[in-house]
Amino acid sequence: MSTSMEASTPAAHQGFADATMIDHESDLLQISLGPHHPSTHGVFRMDVVLDGERVVKLKPVFGYLHRNHEKIAESTTYLASIPYTDRLDYMCSLSNNWAYALSVEKLAGLQVPERAEYIRVIAAELTRLQNHASTIGFLMQEMGASGTPLMYAFREREKILDLFEALTGSRMMCNYMRFGGCRVDLPAGWLDQARKTVDEYPRFLDEFESLLASNEILLARTQGVGVLPPKLAIQGGVTGPILRASGVNYDIRKVDRYGIYERFDFKVPLGEHGDVYDRYMIRMLEMRESLKILDQALHQITPGPIIDPKAKIRGFRPKPGEAYGRIESPKGELGFYLISDGTPNPYRYRVRPPSLINLTVLEDMCLGSSLADTVVIFGTIDIVLGEVDR
Amino acid sequence: MNLEEIKSTLEAAIPGCSPQIVTNGSPSGQHSLLLDREHAFVAAMFLRDDPTLCLDYCSNVTGLDWLDTETSEKVKVTQLVDGVEKEVDEVRKTRTPGYLEAVYHLYSMQKKHGPLVVRLRTENRTDSVHLPSFTPIWRSAEFQEREVFDLFGIIFDGHPDLRRILMWDEFEDHPMRKDYVEPDDYEYEPTPHDAVLKKALEHRNRISTPDGQGA
Amino acid sequence: MDQQLKIELSQQGIFATTMEELYNWGRKNSVWPLTFGLACCAIEMIATTMARYDLARFGAEVFRPSPRQADLMIVAGTVTKKMAPQVVRLYNQMPEPKYVIAMGACAISGGPFKQGYSVLKGIDRYIPVDVHIPGCPPRPEALIDAFITLQKKIDAQALTGEARPRHLRDDTPSEFPVPTYGAHDLQPAKNPTLWHITTNATSPKPLPTGTDESGRD
């Protein structure tokens, strides 16, 4: 096979053509980290300029997983977009379902029965548990604890995925929520199984924490690293655990009180320093608060209908208008902006991706730190490329 | 503060600023404020810094493409038909030129209220349409405005780093525009249906293959 | 060698084998995959290596971040047009013998994201694929099954003769041209020597001319 096609190519891809070049004048080293890199959570890429070991410039490069989700959604029906929302943030498909269903409910003015609201809360909080556990597992992996913490996290994740599979039929791509409710009711014995999983979960957290929280290497690698001041966090539109680790009290579950979150007694953990350690710790604490919510929800849930009888799943045509709905997904504020023109397809379908917008401040957090720390700081932002690039 | 009050506050605070309220027919009731291009930047700055509004958090930025629309209405016109005055139906066509829109959803993290939906409109939908960038006011708009530039082709003046974000730099189209034509790679569709079937048939009609392998 | 004789000998404590068997036995049980996750399927790939599914049982727990040390590329997820040149380049950087598993609907054909402007309709347009796994995403069991299928394939490869695999021949390429970014699409949109329409019937199935709209919306 001739390789003339490659040879005749001009520097088609700047980043790769001069991926590693040394500028002898300034002693700065320009490197391209990704899109194939073990610690970039998929196909994320950053162009980094290093002075010795210190980062002096960092530009994220996106688009390696741009799957034209929005364009597809605009050429298909409202219902047919639900499976696509699963694949946005593929760690948390149920949260994505909820955000989308919530926006359509706002757009069309649908009500959700109480039981469905409970199921949604349970599903979303279970999602948060498994997401935060795996995030911390991946974070430890990036600090060099190769394998073990991630194995522990995935062991727990599998237990939650079993629950998802029993409920929705799929481990990851749940495609479960519908406008005005949920697709199917809980299977027999599911609640008992969920209670058992929730009751056992604190043991894992205690074990995890006793192994990690006072680990000398972990403290050295995280405390005072990648500090994000609260002002910058707000200015950069950062949401989710990262924002709260910087001490800003903004949790959409409390602010918007969507669903039935006002019924539950839970706290919003806040950080003080806004460093990597706080972002790690906030996730540990949020898991404990999620367990509190789950414990209440699993005991309060009562039988009833699971979908609004007025909701028309097929042939659904909302009145012309627009709506923006948002939830507190495990990554931050996940919003859907929908415009209806009265046809079965949305005129405009926009996802507000928390992962993408949280990366706005990545450069500010990384400047001056070493390249190894950059990987750790990046790990605490907790991005999923499916959502960043959509 | 409701939308009417925000509108009058803006009018009072910024001379020459004339925001309009765009109503929304959906039960969500999220009406929006259309800012004029000249005063948009100052108005946005005011929205952020005003102590009662304090919209310090720009959540969502997105683009919209509205194609040229043609509405036709029947009008009764009196005309001389064979020397007799008669009322005749005439179809009058009004052509509304299309435009692009940038929509911002603003919230206040400090006061915990929102959203205020702010819209900006371009003059037309050609390849060089300009809007003021809000990135100097809210940094969270940085990547999202780049995305709007990439996918819709709105040029944001004042943006610090306006490059394509999702597509590669050599790409020339703006794929989220409604009249975008995607590359024709429908040569092999084993299970076509609906829109894909239509495109596969179009492809087969376009490329006639003697051995029938083109389908 | 006669299988019956072999079994008989092994009962006598004599282990007889051929060079080919020994060579393939060694190769198939130490396939090192490339740490290469693209999208959703990568999470299932990670789950496969974790405690519950434990890919290590099949000798493939050593994921290598560098293509130079890897034998197997698991294309786990959607290959976008922006990513495709990098995937081909990584494949070219892997030393022979090398294998590819296309994991999930997207890697096979573009999957749910097939219609649209930025997704490649299957990685086999640019590089040869040994095993395809359907599913969105495939379960870890499916990946393990694909892995066993690949092991069988390796086991059956001849060392000599006309049927010997690519890495033992001089006349077959082990590197493939890397597509470049064009103004509207990748250039070229496919590798015509590698990818052709696989209609096995004498005449391709005609496309239906209309759709049944009843019951759809």
CATH code of the domain in which B28 resides? 3.30.460.80
* DSSP-derived secondary structure letter, B18: -
Closest CA to A345 of A322, A321, A317: A317
pLDDT of residue C58: 86
Q: Is the residue at B77 inside a domain? A: no
How many alpha carbons lie under 13 Å from residue B17 in its C-beta half-sphere? 24
Q: Is the residue at B75 inside a domain? A: no
* Yes or no, beta carbons of A107 and B165 under 8 Å apart: no
C-beta separation of B116 from B35 below 8 A:
no
Of A79-83, A225-229, B85-89, the least confident: B85-89
Q: Is the residue at B148 inside a domain? A: yes
Closest CA to A230 of A361, A71, A376, A129: A361
pLDDT of residue A121: 92
Residue from the list B170, B171, B213 with its beta carbon closest to the beta carbon of C197 = B213
Instruction: Give the confidence band of A26 by pLDDT, cuts at 50, 70, 90.
Output: low
Alpha helices in chain A (DSSP H): 4-7, 14-17, 69-74, 82-86, 93-108, 114-143, 148-168, 190-212, 216-222, 230-235, 241-245, 252-255, 276-300, 354-358, 362-366, 371-381, 385-389
Q: Does residue A254 have a pLDDT over 80?
A: yes
Share of chain C above pLDDT 90, in %: 17
Q: Is the residue at B90 inside a domain? A: no
> How many A×C Cβ pairs under 8 Å?
122
Please provide the DSSP assignment of A231-260 as one string: HHHHHTT--THHHHHTT----HHHHT--TT
* Yes or no, beta carbons of A155 and C86 under 8 Å apart: no
Tens digit of each residue's pLDDT (9 = 90 or more) over C68-111: 889 899 998 899 999 999 999 999 999 888 999 999 998 988 88
pLDDT of residue C176: 87
Same domain, B208 and B156: no
Q: Is the residue at B151 inside a domain? A: yes
Gap between the Cα atoms of C47 and C140, Å rounded: 7
* Yes or no, beta carbons of B175 and A340 under 8 Å apart: no
In chain C, what residues touch A90 (CB-CB under 8 Å)?
Answer: 39-40, 43, 137
C-beta separation of A362 from A374 below 8 A:
no
Instruction: Give the confidence band of A327 by pLDDT, cuts at 50, 70, 90.
Output: very high
- Give, in degrees to the nearest 5, the angle at Cα B183 between B182 and B184: 115
Tens digit of each residue's pLDDT (9 = 90 or more) over B94-109: 888 888 999 999 999 8
Gap between the Cα atoms of B105 and A173, Å rounded: 29
Our CA-based measurement puts residue C25 at a distance from the nearest CA of chain A, in whole angstroms, of 28
- What's the total number of domains in chain B? 2
The mean predicted confidence, pLDDT, of chain A is: 86
Q: Which two tokens stand for residue A273?
A: 């320093």
Instruction: Give the confidence band of B61 by pLDDT, cuts at 50, 70, 90.
Output: very high
* DSSP-derived secondary structure letter, A261: G
Q: Is the residue at B120 inside a domain? A: yes
* Yes or no, beta carbons of A236 and B139 under 8 Å apart: yes
pLDDT of residue A9: 36
Closest CA to B64 of B104, B106, B115: B104
Closest CA to C138 of C181, C196, C74: C74
Gap between the Cα atoms of C115 and C120, Å rounded: 10
Q: Is B151 on the interface with C (CB under 8 A)?
A: no
Q: What are phi and psi of A316, to 5 degrees?
A: -80, 120
Instruction: Give the confidence band of B211 by pLDDT, cuts at 50, 70, 90.
Output: very low
pLDDT of residue A16: 41
Q: Does residue A195 have a pLDDT over 80?
A: yes
In chain B, what residues touch C116 (CB-CB under 8 Å)?
Answer: 182
Neighbours of chain A (3+ CB pairs under 8 A): B, C
Q: Is it true that the peptide bond before A35 is cis, omega within 30 degrees of 0?
A: yes
Residues 6+ away with beta carbon under 8 Å from C65: A37, A38, C34, C35
Gap between the Cα atoms of B176 and B153, Å rounded: 9
The mean predicted confidence, pLDDT, of chain C is: 84
Instruction: Give the confidence band of A13 by pLDDT, cuts at 50, 70, 90.
Output: very low
Q: Name the closest residue on chain A to residue C80, using Cα atoms.
A: A65
Same domain, B111 and B214: no
Same domain, B213 and B140: no
Our CA-based measurement puts residue B97 at a distance from the nearest CA of chain A, in whole angstroms, of 18
pLDDT of residue C109: 86
Same domain, B165 and B211: no
Same domain, B105 and B130: yes
Same domain, B161 and B209: no
C-beta separation of A291 from A129 below 8 A:
yes
- Give, in degrees to the nearest 5, the angle at Cα C76 between C108 and B163: 95
Gap between the Cα atoms of A326 and A344, Å rounded: 22
Q: Name the closest residue on chain C to residue B171, using Cα atoms.
A: C183
Q: Write the single-letter amino acid at A271.
A: G
Instruction: Give the confidence band of C207 by pLDDT, cuts at 50, 70, 90.
Output: low
Our CA-based measurement puts residue B162 at a distance from the nearest CA of chain A, in whole angstroms, of 13
Tens digit of each residue's pLDDT (9 = 90 or more) over C137-183: 899 999 999 999 999 999 888 888 888 888 888 888 888 889 988 88
Residues 6+ away with beta carbon under 8 Å from C144: C48, C53, C55, C58
Of A22-26, A145-149, A208-212, C144-148, the least confident: A22-26
Q: Does residue A152 have a pLDDT over 50?
A: yes
Task: Average the pLDDT over A315-319 and give the result.
Answer: 85
Task: Average the pLDDT over A360-379 and give the result.
Answer: 89
Q: Is the residue at B130 inside a domain? A: yes
Closest CA to C33 of C78, C64, C55: C64
Same domain, B27 and B61: yes
pLDDT of residue B194: 75
How many alpha carbons lie under 13 Å from residue B36 in its C-beta half-sphere? 12
Gap between the Cα atoms of B121 and C90, Å rounded: 44
Instruction: Give the confidence band of A19 by pLDDT, cuts at 50, 70, 90.
Output: very low
pLDDT of residue A24: 57
Same domain, B107 and B159: yes
Residue A335: other Cβ atoms inside 10 A: 26
Share of chain A above pLDDT 90, in %: 30
Q: How far is CA A34 from the centre of its chain?
A: 20
pLDDT of residue A126: 92
- Give, in degrees to the nearest 5, the angle at Cα C165 between C161 and C166: 120
C-beta separation of A94 from A127 below 8 A:
yes
Same domain, B166 and B209: no
Instruction: Give the confidence band of A98 by pLDDT, cuts at 50, 70, 90.
Output: very high
Same domain, B195 and B171: no
Same domain, B33 and B19: yes
Interface confidence (ipTM) of the complex: 0.84
* Yes or no, beta carbons of C207 and B196 under 8 Å apart: no
Q: Is it true that the peptide bond before C188 is cis, omega within 30 degrees of 0?
A: yes
What order of strands is seen across the sheet that includes strand C131-133? C72-76, C99-103, C131-133
Q: Name the closest residue on chain B to residue A352, using Cα atoms.
A: B60
In chain B, what residues touch C206 (CB-CB under 8 Å)?
Answer: 215
Secondary structure element (H or E) that encloses residue C47, with its range: helix C40-49
Q: Is B171 on the interface with C (CB under 8 A)?
A: yes
Our CA-based measurement puts residue A142 at a distance from the nearest CA of chain B, in whole angstroms, of 26
In chain A, what residues touch C52 (CB-CB under 8 Å)?
Answer: 154-155, 158
Our CA-based measurement puts residue A71 at a distance from the nearest CA of chain C, in whole angstroms, of 7
Neighbours of chain B (3+ CB pairs under 8 A): A, C
Q: Is the residue at B80 inside a domain? A: no
Share of chain B above pLDDT 70, in %: 96
Between A358 and A311, where is the model more confident?
A358
Q: Which two tokens stand for residue A297?
A: 């929800």
Total number of residues shown for chain A: 390
How many helices (H) and strands (E) are present in chain C, helices listed first? Answer: 6, 5
Gap between the Cα atoms of C118 and A34, Å rounded: 19
Per the structure, the complete domain to which residue B210 belongs is given by 182-215
Same domain, B121 and B204: no
Instruction: Give the confidence band of B126 by pLDDT, cuts at 50, 70, 90.
Output: confident
In the numeric block, the tokens 């969500």 are attached to B28
Q: Is C65 on the interface with B (CB under 8 A)?
A: no
Our CA-based measurement puts residue A187 at a distance from the nearest CA of chain B, in whole angstroms, of 33
